[in-house]
């Protein structure tokens, strides 16, 4: 396949590099890393050794042209640029797979290019971009993907097979919305508390950050699970997320909480993506990851006091100011 990767951070670079090494015609759409990746390729640092992929590089999507598959790894805060970055790549038979966090990304793409072209994927993976063009793979890696407009189609399975052949475990789901909420069971507490925790435990409980509150450092996954107070909050946020999903008619199991906790214990001191954004002073992915799940919980009458308070804290400490609507 001819594949374009839009959003070449840790996620886009890792999966794009894997597809490139598997022999696909992969094009990276790059900005700041363009010169380095063009000269040196993308280096993957894994437990099995270091590997280098050499995708083609472009600064403008028009240089790439129409492709068979677009893989989107953009932060959701950049979704306003879909028309500029994605549309020039999409032809009549192009599939667009977004690997972004949270809710609502597929719907935004569907308004632009048509729902029949849109797929979504959830990445259960520990990755960090440790330098320009250099990605560290820490653990896991499975993608769960499905169609935005309905059950899986032959092209869904064909794309999943190509991802599998690149060495990445890939599963197909007939219910993409349910898969999103299953991922939120992890994302809401570990991305959310990891950042909100800088304001202190009492602030996260009350939803209020004092005007002179000295912020501490972000809380990695091991800290959140080792401290009984934070571990209890992790589980409570997971349970609120599960109740909201179930009220929406989705078959997210109660056991999903313990499953995600067990998986996280394998990660060690993992710094989730929102924590990295916060420490770099970048805009946080608040809407897709936290505010939209909160809104949907309210529409089905599910009480989520822990999520509500955490959202209030995240909004107050967001480096780019309030983002909720």
Residue 183 annotated in active site: yes
Q: Is the pLDDT of residue 297 over 80?
A: yes
159-199 pLDDT, tens digit per residue, is 999 999 999 999 999 999 999 999 999 999 999 999 999 99
Residue 105 confidence (pLDDT) above 90: yes
Paired with 131 in beta bridges are 134
Residue 248 Cα distances to 17, 186, 245, angstroms: 37, 18, 5
DSSP state of 89: G
Give this prediction's pTM. 0.91
The arithmetic mean of pLDDT across residues 58-64, rounded, is 97
Catalytic, out of 38, 183, 213, 298: 183
| Residue 212 pLDDT level (bands cut at 50, 70, 90) | low
CB 133 within 8 A of CB 37: yes
Mean pLDDT computed over every residue of the chain: 94
- CA-angle at 256, arms to 250 and 258, nearest 5°: 160
Residue 325: pLDDT over 60: no
* Residues 256, 185: Cα–Cα separation, whole Å: 7
Asked whether the CA dihedral 121, 65, 8, 52 is positive or negative, the reply is positive
Using an 8 Å Cβ cutoff, are 55 and 20 in contact?
yes
Helix and strand element counts for the chain (H, E): 15, 10
Helical ranges in the chain per DSSP H: 10-21, 34-40, 61-64, 82-85, 105-113, 154-165, 176-196, 201-206, 221-226, 228-247, 256-265, 273-279, 286, 292-299, 305-317
Residue 163's Cβ-count burial label (10 Å; 0-12, 13-18, 19+) is buried
CA distance 278 to 16: 25
3-class secondary-structure state, position 143: strand
SS3 of residue 57 by DSSP? strand
Quote the pLDDT of residue 323.
54
Q: Is the pLDDT of residue 135 over 70?
A: yes
> What CA–CA distance (Å, rounded) separates 300 from 240?
12
In order of their start, the domains of the chain are 2-174 (3.40.50.720), 179-317 (1.10.1040.10)
The percentage of residues in the chain with a pLDDT greater than 90, rounded to a whole number, is 88
Alpha helix locations (H) across 197-304? 201-206, 221-226, 228-247, 256-265, 273-279, 286, 292-299
């Amino acid at each position: 396949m001819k594949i374009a990767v839009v959003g070449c951070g840790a996620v886009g670079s890792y999966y794009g590099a894997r597809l490139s090494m598997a022999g696909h015609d992969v094009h990276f759409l790059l900005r700041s890393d363009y010169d380095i990746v063009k000269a040196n390729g993308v280096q993957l640092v894994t437990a099995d050794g270091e590997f280098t992929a050499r995708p083609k590089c472009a600064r403008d999507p028009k240089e790439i042209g129409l492709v068979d598959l677009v893989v989107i790894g953009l932060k959701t805060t950049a979704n306003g640029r879909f028309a500029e970055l994605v549309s020039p790549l999409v032809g009549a038979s192009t599939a667009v797979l977004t690997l972004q966090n949270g809710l609502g990304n597929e719907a935004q793409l569907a308004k632009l290019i048509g729902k029949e072209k849109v797929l979504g994927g959830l990445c259960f993976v520990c990755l960090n971009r440790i330098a320009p063009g250099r990605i560290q793979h820490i653990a896991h890696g499975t993608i769960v993907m499905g169609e935005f407009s309905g059950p899986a189609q032959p092209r869904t399975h064909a794309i999943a097979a190509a991802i599998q052949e690149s060495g990445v475990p890939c599963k197909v789901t007939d219910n993409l919305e349910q898969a999103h909420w299953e991922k939120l069971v992890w994302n809401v507490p570990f991305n959310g508390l990891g950042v909100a925790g800088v304001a202190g435990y009492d602030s996260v409980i009350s939803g209020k950050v004092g005007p002179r509150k000295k912020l501490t450092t972000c809380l990695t996954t091991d800290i959140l699970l080792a401290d009984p107070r934070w571990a209890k909050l992790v589980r409570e946020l997971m349970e609120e997320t599960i109740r909201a999903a179930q009220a929406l008619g989705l078959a997210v199991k109660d056991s999903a909480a313990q499953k995600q906790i067990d998986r996280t214990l394998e990660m060690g001191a993992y710094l989730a993506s929102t924590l990295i954004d916060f420490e770099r002073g970048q805009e946080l992915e608040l809407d897709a990851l936290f505010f939209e799940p909160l809104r949907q919980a309210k529409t089905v009458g599910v009480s989520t006091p822990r999520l509500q308070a955490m959202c209030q804290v995240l909004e107050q400490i967001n480096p780019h100011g309030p983002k909720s609507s």
